[in-house]
């Protein structure tokens, strides 16, 4: 069984500066931070997240507030608009192997620090380092069949972020990594597919467990490299690659292998949404023009073909439904934070359009996994006209990234009703354009004061 060189990983974390990586890595890191922040703030628009925050208000407010980190972490994955690794080497397996989502686990720690006055430059630096390490743990291990990644690799990123913000020495950072990786959620992918919004709580718990692991390490707690290795190469994950965890640290940036999602839904749904948009290009109102929609046929890879639920029990189940996501995109022209708010999800038109979607597995498309996720959509209108389009992969992957304008526009759509427009513009300038300053602190002051003091 391979060992995990936590000392080497901790030394990288401690010694790396924001000025070390190439400019393109920094540019992507800033976009990833802005994108993750938009997903988190958009999640705070949902009544269930606000109710959670309210229920946690009585919890003790300390230097590491449980209620604040839990609420912010839960919000960060509520929209399913957060980033992750673009592909896993075992991504052809069914059920598929998701990669790590470290960014939404670490961001609550950064927002908590921003509220205390930490400036944008330091937050971007910590975000870069913490999530590079979290991503390597995701790619360097393979989740056991049916497990979900939230709360497994992400707490390590939260621990590294907290340790760096607390200026802990390398040996203590190594212990924090061992402690954070030793409390995995080990929950199943079936839960969100069936509408279980508790999936989002796993991120919140992971953020808190990771942050508290760093504090416990600082207080003298000891970790176990052997236990971490057992968990990641036998119990929760398999196929541990010690080389993947450490090779090229500081020169090969795994973080840039992340995708940024154009849509607030499960990544496996995205190729169908892209293909639909391509098919209806030039049709101003595909729902009502040409006599109205008659049917939408979707030929796709195996796992996406199984996401066929029409009568959904929650907005999360809608995010794992090709028919409901397609219906919402067709009606609204987008799928962002507002799309599945309770009143919008309950629209009769959504259910009527979702019922027109027909899903089929195309074996040739399944065979293209993991590096491609091909999907063909054929749209039929009531006047007898049709249009079809095929995509090999969804947009947002490293080989077809969102533009900076698209990332900024997505952020602004998601944060409506949470940040005022002036603050949103300042955050875009401070993060995406690299203007610096204390824009994260400004956003944190608005958000934390309203939702999770």
HSE-up (13 A, CA, CB side) for residue 391: 21
Same domain flag for 166 and 304: no
Residue 37 lies in a domain: yes
pLDDT band at 96 (very low <50, low <70, confident <90, very high): low
Q: What is the mean pLDDT of residues 64-73?
A: 93
The CA-atom distances, in angstroms, between 179 and each of 12, 176, 302 are 18, 5, 37
User: What are phi and psi for residue 67, nearest 5 degrees?
Assistant: -60, -40
pLDDT tens profile 192-235: 999 999 999 999 999 999 999 999 999 999 999 999 999 999 99
Residue 212 lies in a domain: yes
Distance of CA 453 to the CA centre of its chain: 24
Q: Are residues 79 and 222 in the same domain?
A: yes
**Same domain assignment for residues 212 and 231:** yes
Report the CATH number that the domain containing residue 354 is assigned in CATH.
3.30.1330.120
Regarding whether 333 and 249 lie in a shared domain, the answer is no
End residue of a domain, out of 368, 391, 414 = 391
pLDDT of 97 above 90: no
Residues 255 and 386 both lie in one domain: no
Q: pTM for the complete prediction? A: 0.96
Given this model, what pLDDT does residue 390 score?
Answer: 98
Q: How confident is the model at residue 84 (pLDDT cuts 50, 70, 90)?
A: confident
pLDDT tens figures, 373-423: 999 999 999 999 999 999 999 999 999 999 999 999 999 999 999 999 999
Report, as an integer, the average pLDDT of 128-139: 96
Q: What's the CATH number where 149 sits?
A: 1.10.4100.10
CA distances from 152 to 66, 112, 188, 195, 232 (A): 18, 21, 11, 20, 9
> Is residue 1 a part of any domain in this protein?
no
Split at pLDDT 50, 70, 90, the class of 92 is low
Give the pLDDT band of residue 86 (cuts 50, 70, 90): confident
Question: What is the model's pLDDT at position 57?
Answer: 81
Predicted confidence at residue 320, as pLDDT, reads 97
Domain-located, residue 189: yes
Task: Report the chain's mean pLDDT, rounded to a whole number.
Answer: 94
Predicted pLDDT at 175: 98
Among 346, 373, 391, where does a domain finish?
A: 391
The answer to whether residue 329 sits within a structural domain is: yes
Q: What confidence score (pLDDT) does residue 270 get?
A: 97
Q: Which residue, of 370, 391, 412, is where some domain finishes?
A: 391
Identify which has the larger pLDDT, 451 or 80. Answer: 80
Q: Are residues 36 and 151 in the same domain?
A: yes
Task: Quote the CA–CA distance of 184 and 174 in Å, as a whole number.
Answer: 17
CB of 265 within 8 A of CB of 192? no
Q: Is residue 130 part of a domain?
A: yes
pLDDT for the residue 145: 87
pLDDT tens readout for residues 252-290: 999 999 999 999 999 999 999 999 999 999 999 999 999
Q: Are residues 256 and 274 in the same domain?
A: no
Q: pLDDT at residue 1 above 60?
A: no
- Claim to verify: residue 101 and residue 237 sit in the same structural domain: yes
Closest CA relative to residue 334, chosen from 406, 387, 382: 406
pLDDT, position 38:
98
Whether 336 and 220 share a structural domain: no
In tens, the pLDDT along 300-358 reads 999 999 999 999 999 999 999 999 999 999 999 999 999 999 999 999 999 999 999 99
Tell me what pLDDT residue 94 has: 64
Establish if 132 belongs to a structural domain.
yes
In a domain, 311, yes or no: yes
Q: Are residues 303 and 362 in the same domain?
A: yes
Q: Give the span between the Cα atoms of 211 and 216, in whole angstroms.
A: 9
pLDDT exceeds 80 at position 238? yes
328 touches 335 (CB < 8 A): yes
The residues that bridge with 299 in the sheet, in sequence order, are 360, 376
Range of the domain at 143: 6-262+399-451
Q: Considering its fold, how many domains does the chain have in total? A: 2
> Are residues 225 and 295 located together in one domain of the fold?
no
Check whether residue 359 and residue 257 sit in a common domain. Answer: no
CB crowding 23-38: b at 16 or more within 10 Å, else e: eeebebbbbbbbbbbb
């Amino acid at each position: 069984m391979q060992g995990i060189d936590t000392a080497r990983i901790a030394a990288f974390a401690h010694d790396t500066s924001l000025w070390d990586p190439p400019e393109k890595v920094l540019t992507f890191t800033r976009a990833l931070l802005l994108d993750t922040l938009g997903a988190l703030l958009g999640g705070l628009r949902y009544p269930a997240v606000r109710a959670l925050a309210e229920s946690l208000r009585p919890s003790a407010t300390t230097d590491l507030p449980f209620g604040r980190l839990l609420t912010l972490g839960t919000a960060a994955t509520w929209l399913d608009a957060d980033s992750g690794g673009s592909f896993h080497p075992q991504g052809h397996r069914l059920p598929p192997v998701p990669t790590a989502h470290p960014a939404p686990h670490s961001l609550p720690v950064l927002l908590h620090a921003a509220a205390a006055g930490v400036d944008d430059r330091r937050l971007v630096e910590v975000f870069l380092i913490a999530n590079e390490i979290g991503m390597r743990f995701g790619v360097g291990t393979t989740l056991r069949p049916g497990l979900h990644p939230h709360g497994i690799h992400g707490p390590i990123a939260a621990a590294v972020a907290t340790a760096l913000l607390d200026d802990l020495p390398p040996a203590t950072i190594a212990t924090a990594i061992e402690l954070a990786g030793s409390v995995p959620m080990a929950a199943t992918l079936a839960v969100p597919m069936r509408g279980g919004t508790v999936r989002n709580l796993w991120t919140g718990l992971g953020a808190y467990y990771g942050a508290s692991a760093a504090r416990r390490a600082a207080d003298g707690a000891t970790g176990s490299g052997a236990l971490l290795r057992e968990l990641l190469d036998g119990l929760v994950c398999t196929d541990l690659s010690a080389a993947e965890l450490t090779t090229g640290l500081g020169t090969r940036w795994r973080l840039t292998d992340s995708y940024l999602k154009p849509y607030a839904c499960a990544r496996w749904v995205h190729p169908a949404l892209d293909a639909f948009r391509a098919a209806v290009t030039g049709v101003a109102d595909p729902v009502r023009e040409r006599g109205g929609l008659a049917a939408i046929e979707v030929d796709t890879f195996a796992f996406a073909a199984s996401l066929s639920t029409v009568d959904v029990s929650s907005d999360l189940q809608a995010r794992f439904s090709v028919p409901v996501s397609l219906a919402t995109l067709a009606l609204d022209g987008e799928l962002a934070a507002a799309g599945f708010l309770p009143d919008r999800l309950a629209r009769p038109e959504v259910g009527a359009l979702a019922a027109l979607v027909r899903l089929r597995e195309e074996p040739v498309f399944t065979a293209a996994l993991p590096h491609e996720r091909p999907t063909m959509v054929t749209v039929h209108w009531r006047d007898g006209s049709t249009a079809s389009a095929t995509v090999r992969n969804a947009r947002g992957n490293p080989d077809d990234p969102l533009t900076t304008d698209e990332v900024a526009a997505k952020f602004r759509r998601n944060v409506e009703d949470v940040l005022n427009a002036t603050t949103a513009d300042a955050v875009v300038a401070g993060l995406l354009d690299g203007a610096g300053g204390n824009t994260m602190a400004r956003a944190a002051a608005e958000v934390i004061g309203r939702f999770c003091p």
